[in-house]
Structure 1
């Protein structure tokens, strides 16, 4: 019973934290808040508890396994034993034979190529338009905003605005902010499968939970975005704006889609490798500096401990027991300051008993979003190119979008804690 109260209190406090920094509090519509909460809770209840829904995700699990095997075959062929192929020598320490860059990360290339192919075959646009229609009817938002919000669940935070590029210059400040927040509060399909691979053995059916988390974060993002920057435009006028075309990304054929998707994936693969290398090095550098300070509670100060203290009350609001809030808070801090990839790596590497199974699930949902400082730079850079005439406004909204995206993913974690 207390965990239910804890989760409901968490949802109320997170919405309050958005309302405190609202630009126009008098324009906040209670209908949107209620609709957002009901949409989140309804989707989570159906997808997590409705009989038979778990069987719907079984083909996805099988698909992930097939993609892993296919990627492993490609990596072993191209990179040899460092890509997972047979070693030309006797392996004395198998646990040290895993090379992240050449065995796990190449999955990004395969997923990127497949995503482009699915767009070319108009399968993904059809799914996106269906989810867009649901968001429009629930929140009273315009077609372009609903389309971009739905697309963010499946593609990246720079690719989704690309689908509505002609509309960006004429969007209201509130609509532009909503597009930015949904980008920060969700993750792309290109990394979703990768994160599911990392979390295998840590939580059951990781791909199912990551997909559900990204789905229910979209209404949370629209709720928080509305509270922070309400739209002065009439909801009926917003809904009247048309949807973008059904095939916003055009390829010259299936092979062109695969080729361009692979090249896009290559850029993402290189970015992940570079960012991981630098961010891990910077964390280690900070910890070396903190090592010279006096110990606290018999242990040296580290960045992870500092982040744990700062974020512990916040993650407690999502339903994490207070005894585990330091560990969970450190993960949330790492995700916000660094990125969710490192946070998921740390979650997967936690020792037995550090977090309960329920807490691991809640943190899986709370970490499922691009709301971190590095991604903020990518978002501002991408949108600035797509709408150069609004670059100043995009930069000014950046930190607010990061704050809103973090609140939205925490709401998702609280909703998961209420349902699971």
Structure 2
């Protein structure tokens, strides 16, 4: 029954995307069906085939090696604060874990590895292969196909750098597709961090995050073309092999050592931003809860998390969660949308045992795997506005809609996973 509930949710979420979209009569039913089939097929291949599951087991081992390497660096610099041997007896289990010194520095290492893999020309052919596959199956232009494929590995600002020469030429539908792709995925720099947080709760968490990143590409195309369908017979950018599409966006590393330095510098900016945002946003939530505490209790204290839980609970139910679990899951979705996915994943990792069953936990991993929140919107609008200042007004007008499309995309992935599990 829960699988049928998830199947109903897939249809309902796509219908919601259509209702909230524009130019509804221009939506191509054929393209939507192909997009849904490709997204489902991607999920089946990556989740159900045994040899693929074995491959993602190897990815989990690689993530474990990266986490261990990061721990070696943090324990050397920070000592026991960074995960080194404690100079005293631990009285409270888990009290030795310090997020800022042990988990977050993984972002530094991943930033360097990503920069190196682009400099060594390992990732560009993979990105281009994904772009060609999206072009041929879903009929999109090479430029947006390349940007969407790059979102599998890069963030919402870095991926569009691949197609910077074309951004000003994109149609409204293509521009929205680029924005949805950014909102519906996460960067490789934080993937390992999130996998580290959830590995105690979900077996092969790292593999599932990789699957979510890959699934996010066709799912984002499907939802964006329903919400803002193409009204012109234009495919900007020719093919993904166009030489004007850069292979090394804004890195320009001249050597391996230069790539390490540039990756470290970028990672420092990201790390400081993450720490600052966590401090501010957690403090704001605490402040909001203090204000809400002044209201009369209704079956318990009123908190921001509880309110968000009731608002987003129907969406979680549509993904296939039992109703008693939909409210706490809805709180996570609300936190992810209003604040950001990192805080939501941290809250996820701290849920009391039994709050969500294993199937619900897996669905929520996929449903929260995206940058669709108001903080990310500011980053993306600012970045795209600099790349194409003549399109800034249109980018701004599509901003809130892209949060909705990004959220619907990740929820759609959660519902599809619910059908398959």
Which bracket does the TM-score occupy, shorter chain normalised? over 0.9
> 2:369 maps to what in 1?
368
> 1:194 maps to what in 2?
193
- Judge which range, 211-220 or 175-184, deviates more: 211-220
Unaligned runs of 5+ in 2: none
TM-score scaled to structure 2, two decimals?
0.96
> 2:310 maps to what in 1?
309
**Aligned equivalents of 2:119 and 2:235: distance in 1?**
33
> 1:284 maps to what in 2?
286
> 1:251 maps to what in 2?
253
Cα deviation, residue 32, structure 1: 1.5
Deviations 1:297-346 (A, max 9, x none): 2x111111101110111110001111211111111111101111111111
- Judge which range, 133-142 or 93-102, deviates more: 93-102
**Aligned equivalents of 2:361 and 2:185: distance in 1?**
18
> 1:384 maps to what in 2?
385
Q: Indicate whether 1:395 and 2:396 are aligned.
A: yes
Cα deviation, residue 238, structure 1: 6.8
Task: Return closer, same or farther for 1:95/1:124 CA change in 2, 3 Å cut-off.
Answer: same
**Aligned equivalents of 2:86 and 2:6: distance in 1?**
50
Superposed CA RMSD in Å reads 1.5
Cα deviation, residue 269, structure 1: 0.3
Question: What is the DSSP-based 3-state SS (H/G/I as helix, E as strand, rest coil) of the residue aligned with 2:232?
Answer: coil
Contact 2:34 2:138 in 1 (8 A): yes
Contact 1:287 1:302 in 2 (8 A): yes
Deviations 1:284-305 (A, max 9, x none): 11111111211112x1111111
> 1:163 maps to what in 2?
162
Q: Indicate whether 1:405 and 2:406 are aligned.
A: yes
- Judge which range, 247-256 or 313-322, deviates more: 247-256
Aligned pairs (5 A) from 1:2-401: 2-93=1-92, 95-234=94-233, 243=242, 244-248=245-249, 249-297=251-299, 299-401=300-402
Cα deviation, residue 27, structure 1: 1.2
How many residue pairs get aligned? The number is 418
Task: Return closer, same or farther for 1:323/1:182 CA change in 2, 3 Å cut-off.
Answer: same
- Judge which range, 287-296 or 308-317, deviates more: 287-296
Contact 1:140 1:239 in 2 (8 A): no
**Aligned equivalents of 2:162 and 2:237: distance in 1?**
18
Unaligned runs of 5+ in 1: none
Cα deviation, residue 89, structure 1: 4.7
